[in-house]
Amino acid sequence: MTNSPAPEYSAERFDVAIIGGGAAGLSAAIALGRSLRRVIVIDAGRQRNLPAHDAHNILGREGIAPADLIAAGRSEAVGYGVTLADDAVSGARRDDAGFSLDLVSGAVVAARRILLATGLIDELPAIDGLSAGWGQTVLHCPYCHGWEVRGQRIGVIATGPMAEHQALLFGRLSDQVTVFDHGDVVGAEARARLGAMGIAVVGGLVERVLADGPRVQAVVVGGRDHAVDAVVVGTRMHARAEVFEQLGGEVTEHPLGSFIETDPTGRTALDGVWAAGNVRDLSAMVGAASGHGVFAGAAINADLVDADVREALASAVH
Ligand SMILES: Cc1cc2nc3c(=O)[nH]c(=O)nc-3n(C[C@H](O)[C@H](O)[C@H](O)COP(=O)(O)OP(=O)(O)OC[C@H]3O[C@@H](n4cnc5c(N)ncnc54)[C@H](O)[C@@H]3O)c2cc1C
User: Hey, which of 30, 40, 47, 109 would you mutate to test ligand 1's pocket, going by the most ligand atoms within 8 Å of its Cβ?
Assistant: 47
Q: Of the candidates 33, 34, 67, which has an alpha carbon nearest to the alpha carbon of residue 49?
A: 67
Angle at 81 between CA 75 and CA 85, to 5 degrees: 65
Q: What φ, ψ does residue 83 adopt, rounded to 5°?
A: -90, 135
Give the distance (Å) from ligand 1 centre to CA of residue 115. 15
Residues 225-278: tens digit of each pLDDT: 999 999 999 999 999 999 999 999 999 999 999 999 999 999 999 999 999 999
pLDDT at 3 over 80: no
In whole angstroms, what is the distance from residue 135 CA to residue 293 CA? 24
Sheet containing 215-221: which strands, arranged edge to edge? 206-212, 215-221, 224-227
Q: Residue with the nearest Cα to atom 42 of ligand 1?
A: 88
User: Hey, which of 56, 103, 118, 123 would you mutate to test ligand 1's pocket, going by the most ligand atoms within 8 Å of its Cβ?
Assistant: 118
Helix, strand, coil percent values for the chain (each to nearest 5): 30, 30, 40
Cβ of 266 less than 6 Å from ligand 1: no
**Per-residue confidence band for 112, with pLDDT thresholds at 50, 70 and 90:** very high
Domains and CATH numbers, the chain: 8-122+236-317 (3.50.50.60), 125-232 (3.50.50.60)
Sequence-ordered list of residues with C-beta below 8 angstroms from that of 71, at least 6 positions apart, any chain: none
Give the distance (Å) from ligand 1 centre to CA of residue 119. 5
Q: No. of H helices and E strands in the chain?
A: 7, 19
Q: Residue with the nearest Cα to atom 15 of ligand 1?
A: 285
Burial 148-163 (b: 16+ CB within 10 A, else e): bbeeebbbbbbbbebb
